Structure 1
């Protein structure tokens, strides 16, 4: 369960740094550690925002007054062929204390999605007034573990109001373990413009606008791992996204098709919190709440899908094409 939880958030990638490289990166100084970690995490941040932004609709035909649907929604956001998101160029001229052990000044290194391994760097400098001499391997990413997707999932409910308006809410029940916490919530609204036309019930298609907001937050406490001396050490990550969509769908009794054009905008905030005592040649370097990483994401996407309706039971699936494409599937139970 813990492994699945970690995969559902940015924490899944941050876990790699926390377990093996955080001490080494902080030894290079806060500026170098923050610069590297920002570039390393950016692609998984983007993939996660795109992932949680999907699944807001499976039809443009808004439910009538009192109609409802409860859904279990899952998203698989793939990056297997996104080579440009699996690596970035590390130029030592941009860093104060990091150098490559082989004398190179610039190299492609893995992001949190990547699989480049065996890249060694060295530190030989005064950091916070203390002499530091160390050699370590830069972290790789999810692809090195044969993981080529970022998943998300939640429960979603929709209720029809008057005049073609439908309200929605989504949530992931709060999950707490000894060292991991995660939760998701969101809300949305859909308006069916064709409901205002005189011949609404005779039209073969429906056209709607949908707006949805999603927030995903998680915390990973790794104090007990003893990877680095200190206390209350944790990673706190929060994602939020807005999805603005124009949707069209058929209006048939059993099998329908739908598609949409979407604008997605979102951001993430990742805080490395707690007290960290970095071993050096002389005295330890102590950092408290070392740094916060902020990333913003925006882009356009388009999707096409189908929905099968069998009484109270419905199934839907769609494929969303964007910077990070996503397969969405839903199991739905509804009335009207």
Structure 2
């Protein structure tokens, strides 16, 4: 179980690594750092929202009373090209300027890979000047997706209703604490029809809620002086899906169309002391939060192989962040 928890651990570590790389922007003052880090990190948060929301179903055929399935599910939300960069306009900043004199330029987000963008900040008299390079993102490490993994349990109730629960056992290390849980409900409308047993397809509605919390302490990385530097992350997502699937004994195909909505708040906590440039000596405590909302239509297609107690499934979702979901399942009925 711990190995699956480590997948979220790695995603949160990647998020924090990108955040730590962006901390040099504190040299431009807290307001500029707030604006830059929100633009830089929001695509990573959005990708995580899509990643943790996948994998709620692998069939529209709800389990009968007493039927159950235990699944180990992994998701990979792919980083879209238009989320790997953003336009930084220095007119929107109080102090940050491009070294080459540009007013606006395409720069990397936490998902991207644009190197060699140099900026500076200086005081009104030009006596104190600090130059630094803006950070690249996860693509510079050949990471072009945001992963998640969890265990999911589904149990059949009466009249075509199935209840689901997903969880990621909390893990704690010296630097990271992370955990996740979710609940869902699926209702098979074809179970209400007299001819249900002879129909070749099933049609269901699915609702799922997922909540993730994580804390990453990066004080020891010494990117910028300070104490108790950490990220406190909270994410919530809802999905609403209409699902159709075949009802064959061994191999089945399924697809869904629906809507995702979610939000993420990442509080940047601790103290941060600027050690160079015009703001040298300034100290910021719990300076700001990175808040991200995600919403949009999602659609997926997939297949499930059933060999008695053992099953496998895989599906691909098309949305703002396309997602590949793969699962190993063990079930009865």
Give the shorter-chain TM-score range. over 0.9
The answer for the alignment partner of 1:224 in structure 2 is 220
Look up the match of 1:31. Answer: 31
Q: Where does 1:199-278 land on structure 2 (aligned, <5 Å)?
A: 199-278=195-274
Q: Does 1:145 align with 2:141?
A: yes
Greater mean alpha carbon deviation, residues 110-119 or residues 222-231: 222-231
Work out the number of aligned pairs and report it: 327
Secondary structure of residue in 1 paired with 2:330: strand
Q: Which runs of 5+ in 1 are unaligned?
A: none
Q: Does 1:12 align with 2:14?
A: yes
**2:289 is the alignment partner of 1:295:** no
Q: Equivalents in 1 of 2:82, 2:249: separation in Å? A: 44
Q: What is the CA–CA distance in structure 2 between the aligned matches of 1:284 and 1:236, rounded to whole Å?
A: 25
Question: How far apart are the structure 2 equivalents of 1:3 and 1:138?
Answer: 29
Q: How does 1:1-336 map to 2 (within 5 A)?
A: 4-9=7-12, 11-18=13-20, 20-22=21-23, 24-79=24-79, 82-125=80-123, 133-280=129-276, 284-336=281-333
Distance (whole Å) between structure 2 residues aligned to residue 132 and residue 273 of structure 1: 27
Closer/same/farther in 2, CA of residues 313 and 283 from structure 1, 3 Å limit: closer
TM-score, length-scaled by structure 2: 0.94
Contact 2:225 2:272 in 1 (8 A): yes
Counterparts in 2 of 1:290 and 1:132: CA distance versus 1, 3 Å: farther
Given that 1:267 and 1:296 are in contact with CA atoms closer than 8 Å, whether structure 2 keeps it comes out as: yes
Separation in structure 1 between the aligned mates of residue 233 and residue 142 of structure 2, nearest angstrom: 24
The TM-score normalised by the length of structure 1 is 0.93
Q: Give the deviation of 1:308 after TM superposition.
A: 0.8
- Pick closer, same or farther for the CA change 1:110–1:3 going to 2, 3 Å: farther
CA distance in 1, matches of 2:221, 2:321: 33
Aligned with 2:226: secondary structure? strand
Query: Is the contact between residue 17 and residue 139 of structure 1 (CA under 8 Å) also seen in structure 2?
Result: no
Distance 1:155 1:306 in 2: 19
C-alpha deviations, 1:129-177, integer Å up to 9, x for none? xx85211000100111111111111000000111111000001111111
Q: Report the CA distance between 1:48 and its aligned residue.
A: 1.2
Larger proportion of strand: 1
Distance 1:187 1:273 in 2: 30
Change (3 A) 1:200 1:4: closer
Distance 2:180 2:92 in 1: 37
**Distance (whole Å) between structure 2 residues aligned to residue 132 and residue 276 of structure 1:** 19
Q: Is the contact made by 2:42 and 2:291 (CA closer than 8 Å) also made in structure 1? A: no
Change (3 A) 1:99 1:316: same
Superposed displacement of residue 38, structure 1: 0.9
